[in-house]
Amino acid sequence: MRAALVDAPLDAAGLLAEVSAPANGAAIVFVGTVRESNDGRAVTGIDYTAYAAMAQRELDAIVGEAATAYDTPHVVVEHRLGTLTVGEASVVIAVAHPRRAAAFDASRFVIEQLKKRVPIWKREHYVDGSREWVDPTGVLVHPSPADQGHTSAGRATTAEAQR
Amino acid sequence: MNVTVLLFASYADALGTTELEIALPAGSTVADAVRRVATLPGADRVPPKPLVAVNERYAAPEQRLAPGDQLALIPPVAGG
């Protein structure tokens, strides 16, 4: 069981090797990567930033919960911080288990909990040069003043309506 | 008592800083601290009831604060 925030490119094969053991009949590697578009806008890269101490604490808790709930110590997650380009891996989760169903479920548990609880944020870079913090809740959109001209009326209206 | 407030991502941009100190009466709660932060310039871009962590753990608005506590205002998380 291990969780880490890292500044260097992630090594999915390394994580797979880390969880592999003769007792396991299944190993799952989930790789989350930077997508070339979001919400209809072309994305060129993403800055990932974190409240590092708390993010580490939450990641440690999540892998511990996964290990307990799915009865395997072979759970590893690494999340990258810094500026990533399209296609680069932002998160890798590796889980191994004697049985495939539990391996899939544990992997899914880790990514879903990570997205709910871990204080990590991303600021997307768009083709037009603007940058915005991503708000998965859609409740608030906070473009910086320099980006105001690029915020579509529709998105701004949605944010206002949900306040 | 003094507590530290950490700001991240869009909230740091809104307030123009990543860390500040605020003085609160003894017995103040997380909600009291949030109301104080809401009076600062730029805080109109922070929602009235943000997620808050105290000393690296998510905290309820009614949680009482102790001198030297480290509050963090947590914007909607977006890891993965």
> pLDDT tens, A132-146?
999 998 744 444 444
Say if residues B74 and B5 touch (Cβ distance below 8 Å). no
B-chain residues near A49 (CB < 8 A): 8-9
Name the least confident of A39-43, A46-50, A58-62, A64-68.
Answer: A39-43
pLDDT reading at A156 higher than 80: no
Contact residues for A117 (Cβ-Cβ < 8 A; gap 6+): A58, A62, B58, B77
Q: How far is the alpha carbon of A58 from chain B, nearest alpha carbon, in Å?
A: 9
Q: How far is the alpha carbon of A1 from chain B, nearest alpha carbon, in Å?
A: 19
pLDDT reading at B61 higher than 70: yes
Q: Of B22, B64, B61, whose CA–CA distance to B43 is shortest?
A: B22
Write down the pTM of the prediction. 0.88
Question: Mean of the per-residue pLDDT values for chain A?
Answer: 88
A-chain residues near B80 (CB < 8 A): 32, 79, 90-91, 111, 114-115, 120
Tokens of B55: 């000393």
Query: Which residue, chain included where needed, has tokens 């891996």?
Result: A89
- pLDDT recorded at residue A138: 76
Q: Per-residue pLDDT tens for B25-52?
A: 999 999 999 999 999 999 999 999 999 9
Q: Which of A120, A139, A140 sits opposite B78 (nearest CB)?
A: A120
- pLDDT recorded at residue A47: 98
Task: Name the band, by pLDDT with cuts 50, 70 and 90, for residue A147.
Answer: very low
Classify burial at B70, counting beta carbons within 10 Å of its beta carbon; exposed 0-12, middle 13-18, buried 19 or more: middle
A-chain residues near B47 (CB < 8 A): 139-140, 163
- pLDDT recorded at residue A148: 40
Residue of chain A whose alpha carbon sits nearest to that of B16: A144
Residue of chain B whose alpha carbon sits nearest to that of A112: B80
Q: Which of A79, A137, A142 sits opposite B79 (nearest CB)?
A: A79
